[in-house]
Chains A and B, each alone.
Chain A
């Protein structure tokens, strides 16, 4: 009988087909609107998020990564500006400012990657299936990676310090671990930043006092064992702190 539904002459005389045609026209307008609205309102994921989705295999973690407070364009621009000024100062004074600035920048950025008071949705995120330890880990690695790339670019662009191009990498790891551990333990990004900046200042000033060279903190090979031991110890501390026992006063982990 359905073959009659588009036959206007037949419909005008057949009650059954008229009823069937009316049934066929019934549409759930609310459901249709939701489908349309979903397409109109949604924004496509940006290129960074799309790459992160492929790498992390988790759309939730990828979105958490691109919302990192210390990966927003203004923070990255500020870091680029500081390193550019450092590169210019290095060229004009001969003092290797880029390697001295890079660890401090990375330590501060990592402290501001995740945590209460830094992430607006922190309380909410603690009730969600994707664990905040995973979010912290992904964000910390991304922030460290980006800061390392920026510092490397600044080092390569400054002829005076090409010989030191990786001299800052190990201290940067140590100071990043310090910022992360203190921010997580104290549940305060500001405490993490303060610890990273103070810790690095003490190392730089201590090195300068004993060798009379400001760059000793990034050139003295004898400091490497201290950096490595510090990195391992602080990374373990950060892992313990992010295990949940300290992220919120009392959690399930």
Chain B
């Protein structure tokens, strides 16, 4: 496996609260699903990988680059895509203008930008709304604008925080296909609460609990851990519940 994301003993603290503790993780090409209950540290981990915040401790290497070095961090930022959990937007921008703005800030070559923006908008199925102002879009459409800006530069590392929130079932199916397509050429890390997204789109899963990785494996392996337990409607949900119950029991012990 070619390792594209290398995390060693990563720590993140806010004040006295430890959000991520001694996390070791290596991820290669494909779609990696990040599961975990609220407050597990998923968003903090994605923000750290997106270079929004620096680690409180530990070491990162992303796409072979060291984000602690300003020049390498700039190069890394040109090659990554990031969809934050709560993405702000300019209400009077059109869909095209917003995605173009982010493409410009990603320092994409000027002659490529218009085509790349149009392609990203078509890939998320917003071609018919490309000239609509963002303030006129629904929540699901805004989420798709967020995905379009994240993929506009064909990122080698794509970080998506709750990307399917607000999407209807048909859009989610299309989005999973897009994830699989991008995961075939690069690394995608998706944080989600929706276990069915993981089963349908992810090649690997990591489960975070209180800032620690308590499971890492394929969706099938996670589902297998739930056999014989009753919590959950699907094998993956039962596996998820079983791993969390085990992690809570060990924490108490």
How far apart sit A187 and B210, CA to CA, in the bound complex (Å)?
28
CB distance from B7 to the nearest CB of A (A): 16
CB distance from A235 to the nearest CB of B (A): 22
CB distance from B111 to the nearest CB of A (A): 11
Q: Which of A67, A126, A131 has the most CB of B within 10 A?
A: A126
Q: Number of B interface residues at 8 Å Cβ cutoff, please give it.
A: 46
Q: Residue B80 at the A interface, CB < 8 A?
A: yes
How far apart sit A126 and B121, CA to CA, in the bound complex (Å)?
22
Q: Which residues of chain A are within 8 angstroms of B89 by Cβ–Cβ distance?
A: 120-121
Q: Residue A25 at the B interface, CB < 8 A?
A: no
Residue in A closest to B88 when the chains form the complex, CB atoms: A120
Q: Which residues of chain A are within 8 angstroms of B149 by Cβ–Cβ distance?
A: 124
How far apart sit A43 and B50, CA to CA, in the bound complex (Å)?
30
Q: Which residues of chain A are within 8 angstroms of B224 by Cβ–Cβ distance?
A: none
How far apart sit A122 and B89, CA to CA, in the bound complex (Å)?
9
A126 touches B52 (CB 8 A): yes
Q: Which residues of chain A are within 8 angstroms of B117 by Cβ–Cβ distance?
A: 38, 41-42
Residue in A closest to B73 when the chains form the complex, CB atoms: A252
How far apart sit A126 and B149, CA to CA, in the bound complex (Å)?
14
A128 touches B77 (CB 8 A): yes
Q: Residue A129 at the B interface, CB < 8 A?
A: yes
Q: Residue B172 at the A interface, CB < 8 A?
A: no
Q: Which residues of chain A are within 8 angstroms of B78 by Cβ–Cβ distance?
A: 129
B82 touches A38 (CB 8 A): no
Q: Number of A interface residues at 8 Å Cβ cutoff, please give it.
A: 33
Q: Which residues of chain A are within 8 angstroms of B119 by Cβ–Cβ distance?
A: 34
CB distance from A207 to the nearest CB of B (A): 41
Q: Residue A251 at the B interface, CB < 8 A?
A: yes
Cβ-neighbour of A123 out of B87, B91, B110, B115 (below 8 A): B87
Total inter-chain residue pairs, C-beta < 8 Å: 108
Cβ-neighbour of A248 out of B53, B74, B82, B110 (below 8 A): B53
Q: Residue B102 at the A interface, CB < 8 A?
A: yes
Residue in A closest to B97 when the chains form the complex, CB atoms: A43
A43 touches B94 (CB 8 A): yes
How far apart sit A128 and B119, CA to CA, in the bound complex (Å)?
20
How far apart sit A60 and B105, CA to CA, in the bound complex (Å)?
5
Interfacial residues of chain A within 93-141, with CB under 8 A of chain B in the complex: 119-131
New A-B contacts (9) at CB < 8 Å, excluding given A121-B101, A121-B102? A63-B100, A64-B105, A127-B52, A128-B105, A129-B106, A129-B107, A248-B53, A250-B53, A251-B52
B-contacting residues of A (Cβ < 8 Å)?
Answer: 33-35, 37-39, 41-43, 59-60, 63-64, 67, 119-131, 248-253
Supply 21 A–B pairs (Cβ within 8 Å), ascending by A. Answer: A33-B122, A34-B115, A34-B122, A38-B117, A41-B117, A42-B117, A43-B97, A67-B101, A120-B90, A121-B87, A123-B86, A124-B84, A126-B50, A127-B77, A128-B77, A129-B105, A129-B106, A131-B74, A252-B51, A252-B67, A252-B70
Q: Which 9 A-B pairs have the closest CB atoms?
A: A120-B88, A38-B114, A38-B118, A60-B104, A127-B50, A129-B77, A41-B96, A37-B118, A128-B105
